[in-house]
Structure 1
Amino acid sequence: MSTQEQTSPNGWRVFHGTGRPPVVAPPLPQAPPWRRFLGAPAQPAPPDEPEAAVRRLGPGEVTPQLGPEEIDTVNAALLLRRPLLITGPPGIGKSTLAYVISRELGLGRVLEWNIVSRSTLRDGLYVHDAMGRAQAIAAWQAGLRGAAPGGPAGSGPAAADSAGASVEEGASAGPDGVDPAVVPSDRQLPPVLGDFITLGPLGTALLPYDRPRVLLVDELDKSDIDLPNDLLHVLENGSYEVPELVRDAAATARVHTSDPAGQALVRDGRVECREFPVVVITSNGEREFPAAFRRRCLPLELRTPDREQLLALVEGHLGMRPEGTEALVDEFVGRIRSGGTHSLDQLLNAVQMTTAGGFQAAGAGRKLVEMLLRDLAKGR
């Protein structure tokens, strides 16, 4: 394939690993028929978050850490609308790739789902503040009773407690958990269910955007053993339901999203994407994933950058190459080759520290550098 075919707007290679923001966001190749979705209503374009990208990538040029094979794997994931499963040592820059893709393709703010051992699929999809909603309804009903004729007899804490109990028990409540007997038409409307539902990072990424969102699922290997299998249905179908909204009488609900001050309209309690998100899943290799999960992902293994790439990384983050950088990079590379576990953050911290005004690299200063470049596998 010629260079022109590789870089043309209709070519399948739209990502080149530069991390440079585009003048005009490039169109993505058309999805295969089995990965097309019909979510509605279309959501507004997501916000951008350049500050987060600068923290991850630095203010300068992105270090060219990906080779041709790795870049092709990313492009294949973009074309096939499949998640990327990125493995490699801790601190090598796996999660950074999500920000490189987002900035280079102009896809806006990256949604992050940081996995811990207690993470569940529902955590990634949505959260329902049932207690907050019950309290809001109780306070609303108490206010109505207090404003009615003879209100003092039906107001105050006792009324609030009684209203809260009726919401929880649902004895005489309507489909929204509200007692119809205390809802006069000329009074303030009851709390809306959507106000107490917030879509998680995965749930927000699956909203029907015209261009895909970038979702970072960080350190999935730290999850409970069931989470990868639980993800299969959502990743395959690009959709999910919010049972609380499905049961609600209202046909539509405006809910909160994982974006700052973000809101989205959900119809009939079901969310389906229009463009499958760019899903970047990272793993430190602490355990194997089920075959059914792995076959839905494209594997990408990142390796430690070489000396020249490390020097370029320092320049990209600091905007210069301070005196003594080469020596620190050589020491860092030597420690890795000797079998140690090290993070790129350690190198950046050491270079930054040694350029601080008045810092002396000899004596006590040398001990501090040793501490910054310590072997992380030794636990101290």
Structure 2
Amino acid sequence: MTTHEQRAAEGWRVFEATGFPPDDPPPPLPAPPPWRRFHGSPVQPAPPEDEAAALRRLGPGDTIPQLGPDEIDIVNAALVLRRPLLVTGPPGIGKSSLAYLLSRELGLGRVLEWNIVSRTVLRDGLYTHDAMGRAQAIAAWQAGLGVGTLPPAAGADNGAHGDAEGGTGAGGDRPGEGRAPRPANRQKPPALDGFITLGPLGTALLPYERPRVLLIDELDKSDIDLPNDLLHVLENGSYEIPELVRAAATRARVHSADPGGRAEVHDGRVECREFPVVLITSNGEREFPAAFRRRCLPLEMRPPTREQLLAIVERHLTMRPEGTEALVDLFVQRVQGGGTHALDQLLNAVQLTTAGGFQADGDGRKLVELLLRDLAKGR
């Protein structure tokens, strides 16, 4: 029995780290445990594909496995238990590429990326409200400039999408209240939902039939409070948009994190239907609280072997140029010597040294040394 046949027979393993796109229809995921079942509605349309992003991350050729059997089992356990993966390892080792590998192999559509910096807060991942933009749109409406001057979708479908002002709007149009009367064209005020945009986390928690893939990249760079702030959302698979709740918006169509995407939200609350596939990467710059770690499955990615590096170069460049093995040996030597190096440094060095007319000796050697420098030394 082949490995593929064995895993298919066992049933619970749906991810094999092959990177091959699934058959049509894609394989179903194992049923979630009772405590990880969600019932969000209304069901959203399937997400778009983004094969161009996957090609940039994974390369055009066959994917080279960087995960061993134990690591693959951890990924499958996270899929079964509907728990986030906390992926650790040195910078540039391919942690974030795992999200694209999962999405391609399981047919889960476009990967949602949330890149973390020290100023990031939970709301950045959930949604943003362009209050200033809406105030300007209301001012334009009051001045009678018409819908043509409003931001896209700001003045459309107000009656169907929860304009909670009941026709008076934030600008008001009741005579005797000291506000401008409604323009003669009877255009309604700009709707609130046209100025709300869901972030990557907020979009991932929409009620899709199949889970979205969410990459929370470099969480260890965040403010100390963000991991704890994530606990409630990741545990309950839901959140509220207070602006829509206060406006009593029974039905709203807000912007999503997908290009040109819109999502329908009822009563200002979002709850997933299938918990997203969440990958949280960390370069190990700090420890996370125990309460956060117990909700995640840890996955440590190891540096690729020499054979894997050669295959990765060949996959991205669609060939193995002359001199590749010497550069790979130099790269492996420096990694084993305790330096901090990233895979893209090796790809850059191979690409440059195989460019027409480049000489890898003399001044060219200095440039190669610069490309393969130790990132831990700061220069």
Same structural fold, with TM-score higher than 0.5 when normalized by the shorter chain = yes
Report the equivalent of 2:17: 17
After TM superposition, list the pairs within 5 Å mapping 1:148-227 onto structure 2.
176-181=169-174, 182-183=181-182, 187-227=186-226
* 2:85 is equivalent to residue 92 of structure 1: no
- Give 5+ residue unaligned stretches, structure 2: 147-164, 175-180
What secondary structure, in the 3-state scheme, does the structure 2 residue paired with 1:143 have?
coil
Q: Which amino acid aligns with 2:255?
A: H
What secondary structure, in the 3-state scheme, does the structure 2 residue paired with 1:63 have?
coil
What secondary structure, in the 3-state scheme, does the structure 1 residue paired with 2:143 have?
helix
Moved more, 244-253 or 234-243: 244-253
Distance 2:337 2:299 in 1: 24
Report the equivalent of 1:29: 30
Report the equivalent of 2:157: none
Report the equivalent of 2:62: 61
Is contact 1:173-1:180 (8 Å) kept? no
Q: Which amino acid aligns with 2:215?
A: L
Distance 2:374 2:74 in 1: 31
Moved more, 254-263 or 183-192: 183-192
Report the equivalent of 1:164: none
What secondary structure, in the 3-state scheme, does the structure 2 residue paired with 1:309 have?
helix
Distance 1:32 1:287 in 2: 31
Give the CA deviation at 1:138.
1.1
Give the CA deviation at 1:308.
0.4
Give the CA deviation at 1:26.
1.2
Size of the aligned set, in residue pairs, is 353
After TM superposition, list the pairs within 5 Å mapping 1:221-300 onto structure 2.
221-300=220-299
Give the CA deviation at 1:5.
4.7
Q: Which amino acid aligns with 2:358?
A: F
More helix by share: 1
Q: Which amino acid aligns with 1:79?
A: V
Distance 1:134 1:289 in 2: 40
Give the CA deviation at 1:174.
7.5
What secondary structure, in the 3-state scheme, does the structure 1 residue paired with 2:279 have?
strand
Distance 1:202 1:38 in 2: 18
Distance 1:346 1:107 in 2: 30
- Give 5+ residue unaligned stretches, structure 1: 147-171
Is contact 1:175-1:249 (8 Å) kept? no
Report the equivalent of 1:38: 39
Distance 1:107 1:49 in 2: 10
Report the equivalent of 1:361: 360
Report the equivalent of 1:351: 350
What secondary structure, in the 3-state scheme, does the structure 2 residue paired with 1:362 have?
coil
Give the CA deviation at 1:47.
0.3
Give the CA deviation at 1:176.
4.2
Q: Which amino acid aligns with 1:19?
A: G
Give the CA deviation at 1:326.
0.7
TM-score, normalization by structure 1 = 0.90
Say what the alpha-carbon RMSD is for the aligned residues: 1.8
Report the equivalent of 1:167: none
Is contact 1:98-1:214 (8 Å) kept? yes
Distance 1:30 1:276 in 2: 11
Distance 2:94 2:241 in 1: 34
Is contact 1:206-1:273 (8 Å) kept? yes
Is contact 1:176-1:249 (8 Å) kept? no
Distance of aligned partners of 1:326 and 1:5 in 2 relative to their CA distance in 1, 3 Å threshold: closer
Distance 1:199 1:18 in 2: 32
Give the CA deviation at 1:371.
0.5
Distance 2:168 2:17 in 1: 52
Distance 1:362 1:107 in 2: 46
Q: Deviation per CA, 1:249-268: give whole Å up to 9, x if none.
A: 33111000000000000000
Q: After the TM superposition, which segments of 4 or more aligned residues of structure 1 sit over 6 Å from their partners?
A: 172-175
* 2:364 is equivalent to residue 371 of structure 1: no
Distance of aligned partners of 1:278 and 1:173 in 2 relative to their CA distance in 1, 3 Å threshold: closer
Distance 2:169 2:77 in 1: 46
Q: Which amino acid aligns with 1:177?
A: A
Moved more, 32-41 or 186-195: 186-195
Q: Which amino acid aligns with 1:77?
A: A
Q: Which amino acid aligns with 1:16?
A: E
Is contact 2:255-2:262 (8 Å) kept? yes
What secondary structure, in the 3-state scheme, does the structure 2 residue paired with 1:38 have?
coil
Q: Deviation per CA, 1:102-156: give whole Å up to 9, x if none.
A: 0111100000000000000000000000011011011101117x9xxxxxxxxxx
Give the CA deviation at 1:62.
1.1
Report the equivalent of 2:80: 79
Distance 1:268 1:219 in 2: 33
Report the equivalent of 1:166: none
Q: Deviation per CA, 1:67-90: give whole Å up to 9, x if none.
A: 000000000000000000000001
Give the CA deviation at 1:63.
1.4
